[in-house]
Amino acid sequence: MPKLNIKSKDFAWTFTAFGAVALSGLAINQVIANQLGVIALGRYNMLLAIVIIGGQIGAMGIHSSVLYHTPKVRSEERSTSEILNAGFLATTSTSLTTTLLIYTGGEIVLRWSDNSYYLDGLRAIAVGLFLYPINKSLLAHINGLQRIRTFSIFFSGRFVLLAVMATIASYWSSNDQILPWTISGAEIAIFLGLILVNKSELSGLSQWRKSRKMFTQHLQYGRKGFLGSTLLDLNTRLDIILLGLISGTRSVGVYSIASLFAEGLYQAAMVPRYNFDPVVTSLFVQNKIIELRETIARAKRQIYMLAIPLTIISNLLYPMVIEFLFTKELADESWPVFLILSLGVGLSSGYIPFTNILQQSGFPTRQSLLLVGMTLTNLFLNVLLIPFFDVKGAAIATASSWVSIVFFLRKISKKTLGFKV
C-alpha cells in the first residue's frame, strides 16, 4: 500500500507557493492602484470574484469528489486514471452549462442597465470562467496523488501569471479596459500546463464510455458537496461583493488592500490543508482514527503557536508597509479593517486547515452543512453591518464568520466522526 505520509519538504513547497501567491496578490493591488486608481482596482476585484464564485458553481463540487476518490483509490492500490478522466468530462459539462447561463444572464442585465464596462469585462472573463472549474478538478487530482511540488507550482502559477499580466496591462494602457482579459489569459496558460502534466492519465479519454459509472459517481458526490465547496470560495468574496453593491467600488478598493494582507494570513493557515486533505482520507478509510486525532491535535497546537505572534507582528508592520507601497491615506483607512480581519484569522487559525475534513472523510452533505452555517453568519452580518460601518462592518462580519467555523466544526465533527476536531 502506498504511503500517504506528510513530508517536511511538502510543507516547504506549499509554503513557498503561498509566498508566491501573497507577493503576486500584493503586486496586483499595488500596480493597479498606483497606475490606474482605486476604482479600477475595485472593478478588477469584482470581475475576479465573479470568476472565482461562478467557477466554483461551475465545478458543481466535482473537484471535491476527485480529491476524495483519488487518494481513496490509490490507498486501494488501483489506477486513478478513471477518476481523472471522469472528473474532467463531468466538470467540462457542468462548467459549460454554468458559463452559458452566467454569460447570458449577465448580457441581459448589463445591457438593460447600460453598464458598458462590466459588459465588456464579462466578455473578457468568459473563457476564464469556463476553464477555472476544469483547472480545479485537474489540480485536485494532482493534490490527491500527493504530487505536492507540481500542485504548488500550478496553484501559485495562476496568481503569478495574473500579477505579470496585470502589470503589463496596467503599464500598457492608461485605462483598465485590458485588465479583465488577463484573467482569462492566466486560466488558459494554467489549463494547457495541467493538460501536459496529466497527459498520461488523460490518454484514457478516448475510452470515455468506460468512465460512465465514475462520471455518475462524481456528479452524485459533487451534488452532495456542491453547496459546501461553493460556499467555501463564496465566503472569501462575499464581503467584497456585498460591499460593492452597498457602498460602491471605492470602498471595495480600500477594503481590498486590507483584505489582501488579511487573506495572506488566512491562506498561511490554509496552506497545510493541501498536505492534510489526502492524508485525512487515507487514515479515515483505513480506520486509523486514533492516528487521525493525534495528527489533528498536534497540527492545531503548532499552528496556534505560530499564528498568535504572527498576528501581532503583522499589525505592527501593516501601517508602515501600506504607507510605503500605497499612500498614508490608504494606510489610515485600511488599517482598522486589517486589525479586525487578522484577529478573526488568529482566533480560528488552528481549525482552518481542517475545514475540509468532513468532505475528505466521505461526508460531503455534512461538509455543506458546516459551510452553510459559516456563510449564513457572514451574509447576515455583512448585510446588517455594512450600511452602518462600511468597510469596518464588512471586516467584523467576515472575521466573525471565520471564528464561527470553530464552533460549527467541533459540533458537527463530534456527531459525524465520533470526536471533536
Q: Which helix H or strand E contains 128, and what residues bound it? A: helix 116-144
> Nearest Cα to 91, choosing from 221, 207, 182?
221
Supply angle C-alpha 405, 408, 414, rounded to 5: 130
What is the signed CA dihedral for 388, 114, 130, 47, rounded to 10 degrees?
A: -40
> Nearest Cα to 217, choosing from 76, 62, 409?
62
> In a 3-state reduction of DSSP, which class is residue 361?
coil
Q: How many residues does the chain have?
A: 421
In the chain (421 residues long), the average pLDDT of successive 10-residue segments reads 56 80 84 83 85 88 89 83 91 94 90 84 92 95 89 91 92 83 95 92 71 86 77 72 80 83 83 83 85 89 90 94 87 93 94 88 87 89 92 93 92 88 84
Per-residue model confidence (pLDDT) at position 130: 96
Per-residue model confidence (pLDDT) at position 365: 86
> Strands, DSSP E only, in 79-168?
none
Going 31 to 235 to 233 to 405, the CA torsion angle's sign is: positive
DSSP 327: -
Per-residue model confidence (pLDDT) at position 205: 67
CB 239 within 8 A of CB 378: yes
Q: 248: Cβ–Cβ under 8 A, 6 or more apart, which residues?
A: 42
Per-residue model confidence (pLDDT) at position 2: 43
The 3-state secondary structure of 157-204 reads HHHHHHHHHHHHHHHHCCCCCCHHHHHHHHHHHHHHHHHHHCHHHHHH
